[in-house]
Structure 1
């Protein structure tokens, strides 16, 4: 269960980055609250709040299950969560952006 928690912490850390970045830039970006879900754009404020929530969840998980940085199973689990979610999100939002560009 410890490794699953760290995997999820990595995923939440990865997911907070784009939402915080676009929210602070004042740029709309898809969130789970948009219509259609994960495709339509949400306001910069919603993105900032969603990114903050993801960061809070990740930090809470890491406080309860601290990680020693280095080559160890805990750090690998954290990195794997970020890597897998990052790969999925880059493909998903690349597809969303291509479809949006073609539709215009």
Structure 2
């Protein structure tokens, strides 16, 4: 249990939390911001980019959990970073207008 392993678990928690809204939006076919949109992180992406971004985040989170020994400090880092990332994502995405353009071009 090192500082590095604790930070790794914290990053895993944030990545796994970020996978959720993109996966849900992709599964429902709802437009949602991704880094691939224009402008990145603000513009809306369709189903495929959201599912891809969700899968990339989930895969990276799982890779960072390799060798996870479940120490108390690492569990705390994992859960706390996931909760903080979720709160941050809710605040950020909640401030955006996530409705597709009225002309149907999005």
1:84 aligns with 2:87: no
List gaps (5 residues or longer) in structure 1: none
TM-score (norm 1): 0.85
Residue of structure 2 aligned with 1:57, choices 57, 60, 72? 60
CA RMSD of aligned residues (A): 1.9
TM-score (norm 2): 0.84
* Per-residue Cα deviation, 1:48-100 (whole angstroms, up to 9, x for no partner): 0000000000011112x31428xx11100001111111111111111113xx6
1:68 aligns with 2:70: yes
Counterpart CA distance in 2 for 1:33 and 1:67 is: 35
Write out the 4+ residue segments of structure 1 that deviate beyond 2 Å after TM superposition.
none
Summarize the Cα distance change of 1:67–1:90 in structure 2 as closer, same or farther, 3 Å threshold: farther
Q: What is the SS of the residue equivalent to 1:13?
A: helix
Residue of structure 2 aligned with 1:27, choices 30, 37, 50? 30
How many pairs were matched up? 98
Compute the displacement of 1:42 (Å): 0.6
Determine which structure has the larger helix proportion and give its number. 1
